[in-house]
Amino acid sequence: MINSQRLAERFIMLAQIDSESRHEAQVAEKIEKILTGMGATVRYDTAKEKTGGDCSNLVAKFAGNRPVQPLFLSGHMDTVVPGKGVKVTFADGIFKSDGTTILGSDDKSAIAIILEVMDVVKENNLPCPPVELIFTICEEIGLLGAKHFDLSLIDAKFGYILDSTDTEGIVTRAPAANKIFITMHGRAAHAGAAPEKGVSAIYAAARAISRLELGRIDSETTCNLGIITGGMATNIIPEKVEIKGEARSHDLEKLSAVTNNIVKAFEKTARDLRGKDTVPRAEIVVENDFPNTAIPEDHKAVVLARKAAANLGRTLESKTIGGGADANVFFGKGIVAGVLGTGMTDVHTVNESIALKDMENTARLVLEILQVHAAGDSA
C-alpha cells in the first residue's frame, strides 16, 4: 500500500526546502498544509521564543477510529549545515545531494515516511489508533525543541521517533550527558620583557588535561574535551583559556564520577600551581545536557514494534547507542520513545545518502505498528 513514487517525490520536496536549525518555518508551513489537507488538527507550541528561531514545534492530531490509547510519531524538521540550496539526485534507488550540501535525510526521511503512512491510513480507511505527530525544531543544536516542548499539547505517553540509521533495530538505551565549561584564569604579561610577572592560563589548563583519561572510559562511559580557546598573541602570557567538554554514561553514578574527576583535576591543578598567588584559578560550570534513555524490554513500545516487525517477517533488535536524541529528553519527562531507523547513511556530511527501499521498509513497519496497536494486539 505504500506509494513509492509519492514517498520519493515528497522526500525530495522536503529535502530541497532550506531548514537549518532555527530556520524551520518554511518546511513547517509545507508540512502543516499537507497535514491539514489530511484532516489533522495542527498546533504549534511556543518553543521559538526560547530557541531564538523562526518556528516552534509542530503538533498534529488524528482522532483515529479505534478506542485504544494514543501513540505519537516524531521526527525533527531542522538540518545541520551546509543545508541551504540542497539539490537532490536520485539514481539506482539512492538519494544523494549534488555534493555541495548535506542531503537532509536526517531527519526529513522521517517526515516523509510519517506523512506517507498517514496518507495510506486515510486512503484505505484502515484501523487506526489516535495518532499524534510531533515535528521538533533545533534538534541538531542541543535538542532544544524537545527541551522546550509543551507536553500539554499531547496525550500520548509512548511512541516512536524516526531518527536513526539501523532499519533492523529499535534504540532502547542511550546515555545521559553533562556539558562541562571550564575557564582557567591566569595573569597577562609581556612574554619577552617580563614573563615572570605572568601566569599562563594555557599552561595550567594543559597540566590539568594531562591528568585526565579521555575518550572511552568503559563500555558505558565516555568523556571528551572538544573546544579550547585562549590567548591573544604569541608575545603575551595568556590570562584566560576556555575549555568546553562533555561526559556521557548509561550509568548515572559513573557519569557523576567522571564529571567530578574532570572538575577536580582542574581545581587541584590550579591550587597546586598558584601557591600563595590568586591565579591560576579554575572557574567551572556543569550542566546536564540530556537524561538517559532506558526502555524495559517488556514495555509496550518495544513489544508492539517487535510484533509489527514479526508480522512483516522481520526481526527488530534492541539497540544501545552512545548518542543523544529527542527521545532522551522525552524519556526524562516521562514519555517513552523508541527510536527507529530510516536507513540514512553518512549523515552530517556532503556524502549523505538514503535508499528509497529502506524508507519504504520503515514506512511499512510504522504502518503495521499502527495496525497492531489499533487491534489492541501487542501482547
* Identified catalytic residue from 20, 24, 45, 78: 78
CATH class of this structure's domain 176-290: alpha beta
- pLDDT of residue 377 exceeding 90, the answer is no
C-alpha cell at 225: 574535551
Averaged pLDDT, 231-257: 98
Residues 39-70: tens digit of each pLDDT = 999 999 999 999 999 999 999 999 999 999 99
| 78 in catalytic set | yes
Local confidence band at 275 (pLDDT 50, 70, 90 cut-offs): confident
pLDDT of residue 107: 97
How many Å from the N-terminal Cα to the C-terminal Cα in the chain?
Answer: 25
Selected residue with higher pLDDT from 276 and 309:
309
Phi, psi for residue 217 in degrees, rounded to 5: -85, -45
DSSP 47-108: THHHHTSS---EEEEE--SS-S--EEEEEE--BPSS-SS--EEEETTEEEE-SSS---HHHH
Do the beta carbons of residue 364 and residue 2 sit within 8 Å? yes
Averaged pLDDT, 92-110: 98
- Give 343's DSSP letter: -
- For residue 133, the cross-strand partners are 60, 73
The pairs formed by 315-318 with CB atoms below 8 angstroms and a separation of 24 or more are: 315/168, 316/168, 316/169, 316/170, 316/365, 317/168, 317/169, 317/170, 318/169, 318/170, 318/171, 318/172, 318/173
pLDDT of residue 5: 98
Averaged pLDDT, 308-318: 97
The kind and range of the H/E element at 374 are helix 356-374
* Identified catalytic residue from 139, 140, 246, 326: 139
Averaged pLDDT, 125-141: 98
- pLDDT of residue 104 exceeding 60, the answer is yes
- For residue 94, the cross-strand partners are 91, 355
Question: What is the pLDDT of the chain when averaged over all its residues?
Answer: 97
Predicted TM-score (pTM) of this structure:
0.94
- pLDDT of residue 258 exceeding 60, the answer is yes
- pLDDT of residue 31 exceeding 60, the answer is yes
C-alpha cell at 224: 571528551
pLDDT of residue 379: 45
pLDDT of residue 276: 86
- List, in order, residues 6 or more apart from 114 with CB less than 8 Å away: 73, 75, 133, 162, 366
∠ CA 163-366-48 to the nearest 5 degrees?
45
Q: Which CATH number fits domain 4-174+292-374: 1.10.10.10, 3.10.270.10, 3.40.630.10, 3.40.50.720?
A: 3.40.630.10
- pLDDT of residue 296 exceeding 80, the answer is yes
Averaged pLDDT, 91-116: 98
Strands (E) in 88-206, as ranges, are 88-91, 94-97, 131-136, 158-164, 169-174, 176-185
- pLDDT of residue 188 exceeding 60, the answer is yes
Averaged pLDDT, 80-90: 98
pLDDT of residue 373: 98
Domain boundaries, the chain: 4-174+292-374, 176-290
| 196 in catalytic set | no
